[in-house]
Structure 1
Amino acid sequence: MRKAILGLGVLVLCGALGFLALTSPSAYRMLRAQAAPAPTDHKPDPDNGRVMFFAGGCTSCHATPNQDDKLRLGGGFALKSPFGTFHVPNISPHKQDGIGSWSTADFIRAMHEGTSPEGRHYYPAFPYTSYQRMRLEDLADLFAFLQTLPAVDGTAPPHDLPFPYSIRRGVGLWKLAFLDGKPFTPDPSKSESWNRGAYLVNGPGHCAECHSERNFAGAIIEERRFAGGPNPEGGRGSVPNITPSPSGIGGWTEDELVTLLTTGETPNFDTVGGPMGSVVHNTAQLPETDRRAIAEYLLSLPPKQGYAAPKS
């Protein structure tokens, strides 16, 4: 009996040590061979950072709720999900409450690896699975733009997550399974504008994060990417299919899709609302060439059958 108990204790200890080793941010970095921070000879361009900022829709989640200035990024928005409620953090350049004391390398690591400067995992409600596709220079430019915005006092409350999702360390295993660490790679057979649209949609725009179904672990199901999905907050309704199928944007012209990204108006004279209204507020700030590139890319996607909500 004593030997059995001792053996069980050894197994438990080995399992615990293995869990700690596999779930550490350093293990992810080693196994995924993450790229180095932005080159030191890159001079950050806040103007390009502004484009990345609006392409990424940063105001939609990080702007302080119940105030008009969407560039006050004090956080606090409650993001409901099937895994619990996430409270979006302050990303203003406040030295204590925001990211004003971060380095560019800290910011790039957060966006590419989902790791804080203190070495803690961020939950993937922060869509670094898409941001990992972004170029290092674009991230450096985005960070430079964020530093030009007002510093805002205050921190968001802690996340409200039930067990086992409250064990943040477990996110390390999730990353090993679902965060591939691959940057965006242009397709040489496609046009420059198509590649620009593909980059904006799959990188900063993180469009698939809402417009796709997810598996039991909360990761995007690849064959359902862009085909729509359930309401991410768990309520009624669904997120639409944005592939060019009859249940999506099939039959739309490029000009019609550009109009939606500029004004929110659809071809049938309706106007988007809810979270998509906030998205349009951001895409309207982009250069028209970027909105047109996004439209060109989305209309080139393979058509997919849209998400069908389960019958109640």
Structure 2
Amino acid sequence: MGSLPEARGSCRRRHRRCGGAGAWLLLMLASAVAAQQTAEQGARADQAAAPEQGSTAASEVRDTARGKARGGGSAANATVERGRYLFHAALCGVCHTAKGGKPLAGGRAIESPFGTFYTSNITPDPDYGIGGWSDEDFVRALSEGVSPSGTSYYPAFPYTSFTKLTREDKLALKAYLDTVEPVAQPNRPHELAWFPAWRWPIGIWKALYFHPGTFQPDPARGDTWNRGAYLAEAATHCAECHSPRNVFGAVEQGARYSGADAGIEGGGTPNITPDKATGIGTWTRSMLAFYLEIGMDPSGDFAGGAMAHVIDEGTAKLTADDRAAIAEYILSLPPIAHQQED
């Protein structure tokens, strides 16, 4: 039996329908072994993380981080594992790995009306990655959108969502990233129009559109809904891609989750509000949770493009309870009629 992504890929063919009992049987069998594969992937990741021989600065940084995790006992290991889970939930590997590139070394292109942004190296390399960052540097980057040198990040980096993560989750994510393989690869400069190339206006943008602060649960809602809201709003940052933006690149708050005409790869993203005509209002929670697991929608079509990577490297690795929680939250949103441009 191949992997679950391979089973999806055999049917996906860029959103083409995969019908028939044979396809369903293949998918059900693949789903049945998904838990086993996840465990095997974790074991392989741990094996791949074994220290290499040598005394380079990068491997010393990595080995020190792993030594701290081992030396800290079960509590430290639990923090790293929590960080690993958040790593998948936050889609770090999806955005920070270029096609054909080394994991987390950056360089993935993010298309925008302002030009092309390139994601950064988030391996623990001390020269080109985040190996020289303190825990507070990392927390500040996610909470305030500010680099260790004090420079504001472009909001192509979704700190507008990551600010809502708890401090504990931010530190856990840092603990996990400190254990991955360092890659000595310089960051690729952004290719922007002349006017957004200046960074000083980002401070004005933040004053207008950035609202820092940790997610606050809604006491009127249940635990499952609040868990789904936390994941969707803070970790998986669904609204960042599935919302239209104004001329300044800020999410239109009154149209969150209603889809965008231009996504990170240039194409549009669908309306995921429960509008029956233009969104996913005909989907049930179980349908949406199933889609987040294997990428197949109720009509039998499969996710393609960036969303396929989001599922394969992100939501498919979450627990069934967390996928169900996200589905509950998304389908509780106000329906918004918004049809994307062709």
Question: What's the TM-score, normalizing by structure 1?
Answer: 0.82
- Name the counterpart of 1:137: 168
Fraction of identical pairs, as percent: 44
- Name the counterpart of 1:28: none
Structure 2: 5+ residue runs without aligned partners?
Answer: 1-74
1:65–1:75 CA contact under 8 A, matched in 2: no
Structure 1: 5+ residue runs without aligned partners?
Answer: 1-41
Q: How many residues align?
A: 265
- Name the counterpart of 2:338: 306
Structure 2 distance, partners of 1:199, 1:251, is: 24
- Name the counterpart of 2:82: 48
Per-residue deviation, residues 234-272 of structure 1 (Å, max 9, x unmatched): 84x421011111111112111111111010011001101
- Name the counterpart of 1:123: 154
- Name the counterpart of 2:317: 285
Structure 1 distance, partners of 2:265, 2:128, is: 30
How far does residue 278 in structure 1 lie from its aligned partner after superposition? Answer: 0.8
- Any runs of at least 4 consecutive aligned residues in structure 1 with deviations exceeding 6 A, and if so which? none
Aligned with 1:63 (options 97, 103, 124): 97
SS of match in other structure, 1:85: strand
How far does residue 232 in structure 1 lie from its aligned partner after superposition? Answer: 2.5
- Name the counterpart of 2:20: none
Structure 1 distance, partners of 2:262, 2:85, is: 28
The yes-or-no answer on 1:168 pairing with 2:199 is: yes
The yes-or-no answer on 1:242 pairing with 2:272 is: yes
1:76–1:155 CA contact under 8 A, matched in 2: no
The yes-or-no answer on 1:84 pairing with 2:118 is: no
The yes-or-no answer on 1:258 pairing with 2:292 is: no
Aligned with 1:178 (options 195, 206, 209): 209
Question: What's the TM-score, normalizing by structure 2?
Answer: 0.75
SS of match in other structure, 1:245: coil
- Name the counterpart of 1:202: 233
Structure 1 distance, partners of 2:173, 2:224, is: 21
SS of match in other structure, 1:79: strand
2:112–2:262 CA contact under 8 A, matched in 1: no
How far does residue 233 in structure 1 lie from its aligned partner after superposition? Answer: 4.7
SS of match in other structure, 2:289: helix
SS of match in other structure, 2:138: helix
Structure 2 distance, partners of 1:273, 1:64, is: 17
Shift in CA distance, 203/104, structure 1 to aligned 2, threshold 3 Å: same
Letter of the 2:273 partner, please give it: T
Structure 1 distance, partners of 2:339, 2:160, is: 21
SS of match in other structure, 2:117: strand
1:109–1:116 CA contact under 8 A, matched in 2: yes
How far does residue 65 in structure 1 lie from its aligned partner after superposition? Answer: 2.6
- Name the counterpart of 2:24: none
Structure 2 distance, partners of 1:294, 1:222, is: 19
1:79–1:85 CA contact under 8 A, matched in 2: yes
SS of match in other structure, 1:305: coil
